[in-house]
Structure 1
């Protein structure tokens, strides 16, 4: 072990607190430029050295300090790096799948993969087994790490697509056997010794997040360590996060908002408090009981709390920072939030997964920066290191107040899509020598330089914060319905956001229940149509394609 690194004496039955030395001379902190020494786990290591007893993650009755979290992550890293499957393949880092729901064990799993010098690949649990298996095959993993919830999904289909090593980081006993797959429990591993996180280069892929695809197959967005490093250092400074903060986690690891929630909190040395999915409607009580100071969520959660009249004046008095992102923010939600959290600054963040979480920001003052003709808040101006432009169909810049497609450039752009070079080239074009990402969002810039998002140009929508390609739903709908002409429509809409999906099949009659049941084996719940409607004559546009606008008008006229 290199002199100056700290080692973690790890017992077989628990993750013990590390014995640490001070960082070696010349070590590069996370918020300073470096092209050779970086790891997403670096901040946890740094705080484990400086303040090992400070709280790092809290979930229900479980809590780990920075020292304990570092010990658990390093222990997992040692088991991964010591496996026979651990090697670079075609020059890239090993990839580790994370099959876990939000919680302490998911944090350990993610940090352990990072600590070992791997690319972590979160896999959402609320998906059919066949879809999970497809993602495992597509991502070519060296190992898979599960928590208790993830382990329940290790059925025959999933294990057949799993890598040769599966590590169970959960608390419950695991009884899974599969030919050709080594399944080990993290708690049963013998004592190991591990040093600081493995350094990786800025060009290496830090994580891969899967988003909905147009062909029925999700696409993996590859985010480099350099892009992630810039984002975390930048956003922590922009928001003014402090070591004494207690920040809310409301997202699953497969939603890229979780990257912000976890790693910006740990970058500041603050504590991450995880709101269980089963108690989201008790979020106000959760904030009060934990005296939380930072709120992170999609606006939909705040909207639901408002609907159930949970946002009483002063009910969120401990909050000092509120971060909304992932979908459009209604002005009415902001008004109610200000009364409930009178001491909190409110920041509306915008960004696609392809631009490393968030790339534009709007701090809310008075009067509210409302988008013209709509009851939603502006998405603001580019964050440091980012650029934005509104262009026409030929990629030419448009004047202020003229709608066009929003393009993003800068240090946070993804490397592209896993195994999809043509799609990467199409979505990340070079314009006048600058690499941009075509968001597919319709937007305009006002005379003050603020950007406003007006919705989607293409067939991609946000449903309760999740990004969904309608064409992916249609690909599966076409198969299960046995019909050539189908359509998926985001409906109903409320405050500019989709609340669900309705499917249409070009036929005189269909068994809607059977179709939905078949789709349930192929699609996650948030992509599942709530209704399937047969139309003998589907409305077509001038291009010969199904006219979704006409279908929405049909739904609006018919009512709920």
Structure 2
């Protein structure tokens, strides 16, 4: 692509007032470039635009109007970008409905988000128990004839609602608008030397907000999105082969997942990859694993970037280009500096803490989400105003380093990040306590000497419970929770450990959950 065309794409990002408008402006500059590569299929920007237009018209014909919410019950394939863009073109916000979720979870999301319409396969929707909604199929084939859509969204409209784990046992939907995503793209893309010639892996689950960055940062630059099928994403050896064969240049990874990918790459005798950027997010970065992966790299190694950000601040809030000195330095999880469209302070109960001291990270600026769907009290609790500035209280601990950058130090509440997903331990505990075999339950995360992490449930059983309930409890949890929230292991205990004040002793709980005392584990 010529420099003139690249400049026109940059201008499109600056001018766009909504995500559909951004797509239309970019597609007009590069209509015949590949936009999406799926196994056995390629969609150009023109074809992706036509397919999403058709879907938007069918949604409007089905009664969807601007400001509505539409579920996306789609596998990881070319139909997913079609679905996202089509819903947005119809003026609605999309709500991810991962087909791998238990039917009970999907029904909860449909009810909580008041979804009347879902994009997906009707048979699959019925199989998931979603009988009371209209199902509109995405169509990536056919022509683009049809009337021009009117009443298009603008920056004030919601773009998506992504559900995060809830401490009360009820997942909460975070509402993010077009303006927040556009603000992220305008602030973060200049920090990457990417262009239309890049190939971005669509690796993250679309229920994980990193998928928003993977798709829209790619499309905003006229680049190509390479869909990574779910079965490939779960198999490190196959993923390494896929990255090489599809010449992926930008790859996002959760640190704990990447550990297995790095081992698979080494086991395959380090096949050459086209990676230019390796972007980490979702949990604390593992610097030693990155160093080993880059060791002996043939040719110019990829630039490694560590990004941090809660869903409530629209995917990312900070950026850190990791250097060789960072990989061997004393800072365990450097997250860098806050993005240009945001500001951050580190606070405790008394106010802003001095540099170097640990506190809770508060974030303000154009990327802060609108709040939680139909949860005004929770929104008021987490999105607070101080001296006329609206902050999101992340619940994450951090400190300001001598150079002004930030170090991530973990959570200050019961929320954990495991394999890139945010999990409220209280939600998992509430589900387990709902089973007749369980009198009390507490959940923790353990880390093995090899660095692997597991979600472990310590349970106090009811009087008539069998001695080894792991299989039963695992099956029950899998019917209520997404896969990533189902405990890997179950430890039967007589009582849960308490502190002197009668509260659950989380530190002692981790000791009880040690691997040598495990009674069951997932297959």
Structure 1 length-normalised TM: 0.84
Match for 1:538 among 478, 481, 496? 496
| Aligned: 1:473 with 2:428 | yes
| Aligned: 1:59 with 2:38 | yes
Q: What does residue 460 of structure 1 align with?
A: 415
How many Å apart are 1:248 and its aligned residue? Answer: 1.1
Matches within 5 A, 1:15-34: 30-32=12-14
Matches within 5 A, 1:251-270: 251-270=204-223
How many Å apart are 1:537 and its aligned residue? Answer: 2.0
| Aligned: 1:447 with 2:402 | yes
Task: Give the conservation status (yes or no) of the 8 Å contact 1:381–1:449.
Answer: yes
Larger displacement relative to structure 2 (318-327 or 380-389):
318-327
Match for 2:198 among 223, 236, 245? 245
| Aligned: 1:217 with 2:170 | yes
| Aligned: 1:365 with 2:323 | yes
- Encode CA deviations 1:340-384: one digit per residue, 9 max, x unaligned: 474311111000100000010111123116674x6x330111011
Task: Give the conservation status (yes or no) of the 8 Å contact 1:389–1:397.
Answer: yes
| Aligned: 1:397 with 2:379 | no
Match for 2:138 among 127, 148, 169? 169
Match for 2:314 among 335, 356, 362? 356
| Aligned: 1:432 with 2:387 | yes
Q: What does residue 130 of structure 2 align with?
A: 158
SS at match of 2:408: strand
- In structure 2, runs of 5+ residues without a counterpart are 1-8, 519-523
CA distance in 1, matches of 2:510, 2:346: 27
How many Å apart are 1:548 and its aligned residue? Answer: 1.9
Task: Give the conservation status (yes or no) of the 8 Å contact 2:287–2:328.
Answer: yes
SS at match of 2:356: coil
Instruction: Count residues with an aligned counterpart.
Output: 502
- Encode CA deviations 1:451-508: one digit per residue, 9 max, x unaligned: 1111111111112111110000011111114545321111235787743333423657
Match for 1:208 among 161, 184, 189? 161
Matches within 5 A, 1:172-187: none
Structure 2 length-normalised TM: 0.89
SS at match of 2:512: helix
Task: Give the conservation status (yes or no) of the 8 Å contact 1:114–1:120.
Answer: yes
How many Å apart are 1:559 and its aligned residue? Answer: 5.8
CA distance in 2, matches of 1:389, 1:494: 34
How many Å apart are 1:541 and its aligned residue? Answer: 1.7
Closer/same/farther in 2, CA of residues 495 and 272 from structure 1, 3 Å limit: farther
Match for 2:480 among 515, 522, 529? 522
Task: Give the conservation status (yes or no) of the 8 Å contact 2:26–2:221.
Answer: no
Q: What does residue 46 of structure 1 align with?
A: 25
CA distance in 2, matches of 1:543, 1:98: 46
CA distance in 2, matches of 1:423, 1:311: 47
Task: Give the conservation status (yes or no) of the 8 Å contact 1:245–1:292.
Answer: yes
How many Å apart are 1:97 and its aligned residue? Answer: 0.8
- Encode CA deviations 1:96-129: one digit per residue, 9 max, x unaligned: 1101122101111111101111111111222111
Closer/same/farther in 2, CA of residues 402 and 496 from structure 1, 3 Å limit: farther
- Encode CA deviations 1:81-104: one digit per residue, 9 max, x unaligned: 122x2335xxxx011110112210
Q: What does residue 344 of structure 1 align with?
A: 302
CA distance in 2, matches of 1:126, 1:532: 22
How many Å apart are 1:241 and its aligned residue? Answer: 2.0
| Aligned: 1:102 with 2:76 | yes
Larger displacement relative to structure 2 (470-479 or 151-160):
151-160
CA distance in 2, matches of 1:197, 1:263: 23
Task: Give the conservation status (yes or no) of the 8 Å contact 1:323–1:346.
Answer: yes
Closer/same/farther in 2, CA of residues 267 and 367 from structure 1, 3 Å limit: same
CA distance in 1, matches of 2:408, 2:365: 19
- Encode CA deviations 1:125-145: one digit per residue, 9 max, x unaligned: 221111101101111124210
How many Å apart are 1:302 and its aligned residue? Answer: 2.0
CA distance in 1, matches of 2:440, 2:136: 44
CA distance in 1, matches of 2:400, 2:452: 21
